Structure 1
């Protein structure tokens, strides 16, 4: 009998018999072979990535693995149960990102877990339970660990020595302006004390922190001499103690802490030193940002949540150990050119924004890990590699570097900063302009423009067209302030988030101001020339149209509509809740409002911003519309009502946008805004 010859290679079984059908919910946590899979074509061995939407309702009903359920879905369920309790009852969807040889990231689409991600990864590359799953960088379990301090030192040293970090170079000691006082933390055996720098330059760290509502240690006229002699370590708030530990670990001797280095009950000292705060943070060796600390009693050197262990069982019943941890979505977005987003109590405070923007180097002590930013790059403990990412400290230097061609980059940077700043909270309302004066000083130096209480003369038309973001029922934030803080044409006159129109490149070219600044007057109320103001006004010349402003309530919200002759009704973007008011009979503004015979006009009335205690109601009253700029067949401008404090001035009520037709025959007039 003739024997059959053996094949040189084992024959493959038919793929139609062995092909595994992927789970329709999780796609077996495999980024390959899906209709939405993408591949990095630039790599020698292209790696796949996949973004899918998880149906959490279907996932919650998945059977256990032992009952025939998907073993990959079981991994997701374990992670969600451990790190996002309550997800089963949320009936939300989640976004899952899979990266070949990388981690699995899950983000639940819910306010409850906003900004949080669950990261699933293998314990080690050699024991990955399936081929596409990768490992993650180790994050130490305590922010005061040797590993974390080594990471901080490495980030700072790389910034100091890299030839690419040109923007991170501090001025020479001879030219650097020093704070008036510093805290000398010395060595463990030497007393901690406040020193007067006497104009000399020192290498120091700066602390960016929340004061909170409780008591904190401060310098006053009565205790300054005592603090200059000896401050026992145990007397310092816990956060200050941690800051001193960090400073010593970084090999420094001095730190600037605002509550101690400024005499808090001296108006002159506070105004002088607070005006220098931008330079103090910019010239510091590093800023220690206590991002997750709500007050001085909340430490920043703390234990972190440890990763949880997950069990994965393969088809043969063999168990493997995976890990999952909760991380914040803090990473920069290179494609959208957006910087890192540290999460914590600190990012809700107004003063700390300029501390972040102007610092040369920042260590952010967050809940989950340490982040590092400088004017060139970003690194964090979960992504420690050196790369040139967008950063907040780089925002102004990059804009200024482009200003040689056009100042639009600087104005755009200012608008983005004001938008973020207006979302934040102030303990002292009158600090609204002082708390951003350090940034304003940088903008002034770059543009040589006059500062008009939050606006810039060289960009006045665009700056005037800010608008509020009012999307909920009116509350205290959506009423005018009881006391004067800034002119009505400035965003600083309100406590509400504001936005600016973000123009495309072709719109910027078409943007044409229709106003001329005739005069301006601003009186500051302190020693900071870019700080608090006691009075400010501008006189403009531009196209004016008379209109009736109608107020009605729809679904619990007040809606304000303009009626201008020759056009359809226009819904305005109102600055806050508005109310009808009377005008003095001899008022110059009354004559302006009555110059044109407008139907349904109620004589002797105007509209003003409502204050707490006013009772809003429906109304119809005359207003002026000032065209500020034209672009793409549209005209945008301000809605104005008669001022209550000046018989010849008007105050801003909101903004409007309309077609140019109603303004074709508008009269050019002068108007004073306060």
Structure 2
């Protein structure tokens, strides 16, 4: 029924079995609004505060300000809070805990007790006291907060879903998971190991340091955003001990955004620029890492980056300097540094490793084609020749793309990233 929290041997044994425990339970009862273990399920509340009610209007109002047709006509309107699911459940105190996301996703049925009402979710329905039959589709949480798309895929006929459906759902889940907090920093990968095991079984492939090896080049191009869930107590961006290599999103406590390669992977002009030669990873039974490194091969650009503030960067290569935006306002490059507490002014010599490129019009036939590329930003390590650590991600367009193609190494080279 529980894990002995003060017994590491029991924890290591049981943590790896969470997938079986929750996926085989008949129903999971969640104290979703409880601030701690002493609160329980029930709250003082007024049920009338969430019930829908009818309003009769006798006026016509033009809601448009741009000349378009958008008006509210007189009549009877049903009024109700549209965001209770997202506010009370997705952003509930319990669902901001990293371990709970996996438990919720693996459970076939969950009954959520919140401060406003009781919610229900299973493989087929989402319901509430306001909408007991089924939550209307348009009231489901927005894409960035909805971690349950994968739940529906896991419950359906496997043959009905493509391999990329699984991957897209994994990316969405990871975005939600990266916004959750942990009591123990070292649990970052262990708390989601049940999900990765299930995905590996259903879709094939392996998860290595939190990255799906079937999409490894795209997976390596994640970036950190400085946005966290509303009301969440923001953790320190740095774990107390090492738990993942710098090329893994699990190395920091921050909101992870997927690679922009997802927007272009089906384009005929999409090109993979780097290859993975090998990965060396040691993992414990609980899913925690012992060590990890990766060897990538691709073209390198040796460059210097500088910035006086948090917005405007410049990139200099062999005496040629390119600003982040040119005089016409075109974005030459975008830079996302992994260090969330980096102080300005900033100046650093870094190595850019090209990961993928694309020349297309983003699906808009009336627009001209644009050349774009994403590259890893690497900083040299003292541990050996061609040893690096990741420090950020670089997006290149226009003059930035041309600069890379002109000054990058002619031959591909191997780099070892820790």
What interval of TM-score do these two structures reach, taking the shorter chain for normalisation? 0.7 to 0.9
Q: Distance in 2 between matches of 1:354 and 1:476?
A: 20
In structure 2, the CA distance between the partners of 1:547 and 1:291, relative to structure 1 (3 Å rule), is: same
The match for 1:183 is: none
Aligned residues between the structures: 357
SS of structure 2 residue aligned to 1:307 = helix
TM-score for both structures, normalised by structure 2: 0.75
Choose from 632, 637, 650 the match for 2:388.
Answer: 650
Choose from 634, 644, 655 the match for 2:372.
Answer: 634
The match for 2:292 is: 536
Q: Distance in 1 between matches of 2:188 and 2:241?
A: 13
Kept in 1: contact 2:88–2:116 (CA 8 A): no
Kept in 2: contact 1:467–1:654 (CA 8 A): yes
Choose from 250, 254, 267 the match for 1:509.
Answer: 267
The match for 2:256 is: 498
Q: Distance in 1 between matches of 2:94 and 2:160?
A: 34
TM superposition shift of 1:571 = 3.9
TM superposition shift of 1:398 = 1.8
Choose from 269, 278, 281 the match for 2:10.
Answer: 269
5+ long unaligned stretches in structure 2: 59-77, 141-145, 324-332, 361-370
TM superposition shift of 1:456 = 1.6
CA deviations over 1:305-335 (Å, ceiling 9, x no partner):
243699x9999xxxxxxxx998571358xxx
Q: Distance in 1 between matches of 2:115 and 2:131?
A: 16
The match for 1:149 is: none
Kept in 2: contact 1:548–1:562 (CA 8 A): yes
TM-score for both structures, normalised by structure 1: 0.48
- Mean alpha-carbon deviation: is it higher for 341-350 or for 400-409? 400-409
The match for 2:367 is: none
In structure 2, the CA distance between the partners of 1:476 and 1:369, relative to structure 1 (3 Å rule), is: closer
Output aligned runs, 1:575-654, within 5 Å: 575-577=338-340, 616-631=343-358, 632=360, 633-643=371-381, 648-654=386-392
Which has the greater radius of gyration?
Answer: 1
Q: Does 1:353 align with 2:353?
A: no
TM superposition shift of 1:563 = 2.7
TM superposition shift of 1:370 = 1.0
TM superposition shift of 1:447 = 3.0
Output aligned runs, 1:307-346, within 5 Å: 307=48, 327=81, 329-331=83-85, 341-346=89-94
TM superposition shift of 1:300 = 0.8
Choose from 393, 413, 417 the match for 1:669.
Answer: 413
Kept in 1: contact 2:119–2:128 (CA 8 A): yes
TM superposition shift of 1:621 = 2.6
Choose from 243, 250, 254 the match for 1:485.
Answer: 243
CA deviations over 1:37-91 (Å, ceiling 9, x no partner):
xxxxxxxxxxxxxxxxxxxxxxxxxxxxxxxxxxxxxxxxxxxxxxxxxxxxxxx
5+ long unaligned stretches in structure 1: 1-255, 316-323, 333-338, 579-609, 611-615
The match for 1:451 is: 207
Choose from 292, 298, 305 the match for 2:46.
Answer: 305
The match for 2:69 is: none
Kept in 2: contact 1:572–1:656 (CA 8 A): yes
Choose from 436, 441, 455 the match for 2:192.
Answer: 436
Kept in 2: contact 1:403–1:410 (CA 8 A): no
The match for 2:282 is: 523
Q: Distance in 2 between matches of 1:313 and 1:636?
A: 55
TM superposition shift of 1:269 = 1.3
In structure 2, the CA distance between the partners of 1:327 and 1:466, relative to structure 1 (3 Å rule), is: same
- Mean alpha-carbon deviation: is it higher for 298-307 or for 488-497? 298-307
> Which structure carries more relative contact order (alpha carbon 8 Å, separation 6+)?
2
TM superposition shift of 1:437 = 0.9
Q: Distance in 1 between matches of 2:13 and 2:83?
A: 38
Choose from 381, 392, 398 the match for 2:153.
Answer: 398
Q: Distance in 1 between matches of 2:150 and 2:57?
A: 49
The match for 2:337 is: 574
Kept in 2: contact 1:360–1:393 (CA 8 A): no
Kept in 2: contact 1:558–1:577 (CA 8 A): no
Q: Distance in 2 between matches of 1:502 and 1:365?
A: 37
Q: Distance in 2 between matches of 1:267 and 1:350?
A: 19
SS of structure 1 residue aligned to 2:215 = helix
Kept in 2: contact 1:514–1:542 (CA 8 A): yes
Q: Distance in 2 between matches of 1:275 and 1:430?
A: 14
